[in-house]
Structure 1
Amino acid sequence: MGMSVTIAAADEDDAEEILKLQYLCYQSEAELYGDYSLEPLTQSLAALRAELGAGRVLAARLGTEVVGSVRGAVDSEGTAVITGLIVHPRLRRHGLGGRLLDAIEEQLAAESAVRYRLAVGRRSEISLRLCRERGYIPTGGTERVSRALTLVTLEKPVAEVPALAASR
């Protein structure tokens, strides 16, 4: 490829590019579930901008192009809810999704998260595999979003970093 992908905080100027990428990335999910009314395909730019201000949003860039993104926020109980993990179709299967997940976990851990939680479509095998490989386990919780789409909730505890534990 020639250039390496960098991951950094997204800002307001990235919102439109992230929204376009989200729309592109969720086409395959919509096809898988036969449902083109999935929330990521109908989200407005204003709603995405609100998410940018409410939590952490990371963007992966290849040069100046946004080729991936992930969002997360820590609630009052210490649960870091991770959403919106997307990778441009041409860059899938190269480890970028895992890098984005690792990066958002690291940032959310710094905000006193005690567990990570995310939801994945029951038929989304690639996403489920990525989560399992990273230590997430199903909680038993599911949410029926539509006739075809059921989300599976997965969690994992925040691992204590040995260097931090030693300094306490």
Structure 2
Amino acid sequence: MSEAKIVRAGPDDAGELLTLQYAAFLSEARVYERLDLPPLKQTFDELRSELGDHPTWKAVVGTRIVGSIRVHREEDVLHVGRIMVAPDQQGRGIGSRLLAAVEDDVPAGVERLSLFTGFLSTGNLRLYERVGYREVGRRPGPTGVMLVYLEKTLATPG
């Protein structure tokens, strides 16, 4: 199988990204025994609108989207979210490459990257710590699942 190519995604990718999102986050829903996770409730129209407003990258193998990541900026923080890899493609470095793509395109003035994941998502936590994120807190999310918040401080240009 060929290596995934990381490229920007847009509103026209909404249908395939929504299918990927449901597949990726359904595995998370099983871990937490909850089907009410926000990514599983997002609609096509909501996602399409979000893709128009937030920079998004996709990992593509052949013609199939196998991973994705979205960001939005608030002042000097770039919030990284909806990091997802197709269940049959996990463990192949796609998540790491998506995170690297975000870091390669950080806008001027951004000092930190921020993200969160569920406390039982040990694979996610290992990945984020391996690429330099550090835990900064925990608190329940909107569904009551305990979320782990992590940040990565960016090196300032010298």
Aligned to 1:150: 146
The alpha carbon displacement at 1:111 in A equals 4.1
> Is the radius of gyration larger for structure 1 or structure 2?
1
- Structure 1 unaligned blocks of 5 or more: none
Aligned pairs for 1:7-156 within 5 A: 7-76=6-75, 78-107=76-105, 109-147=106-144, 149-156=145-152
TM-score by length of 2: 0.94
SS in 1 for 2:127: helix
Point out 4+ residue stretches in structure 1 off by more than 4 angstroms: none
Distance in 1 separating the partners of 2:18 and 2:94: 18
Identity over aligned pairs, percent: 35
TM-score (norm 1): 0.89
Letter in 1 for 2:95: G
Which residue type is aligned with residue 121 of structure 2? Answer: S
Q: Distance in 2 between matches of 1:99 and 1:56?
A: 16
Counterparts of 1:57 and 1:100, CA distance in 2: 10
Question: Is residue 138–residue 146 contact of structure 2 (8 Å, CA) maintained in 1?
Answer: no
| Paired letter, 1:28 | S
- Does the CA-based 8 Å contact 2:11-2:49 persist in structure 1? no
User: How many aligned residue pairs are there?
Assistant: 158
Counterparts of 2:53 and 2:108, CA distance in 1 = 13
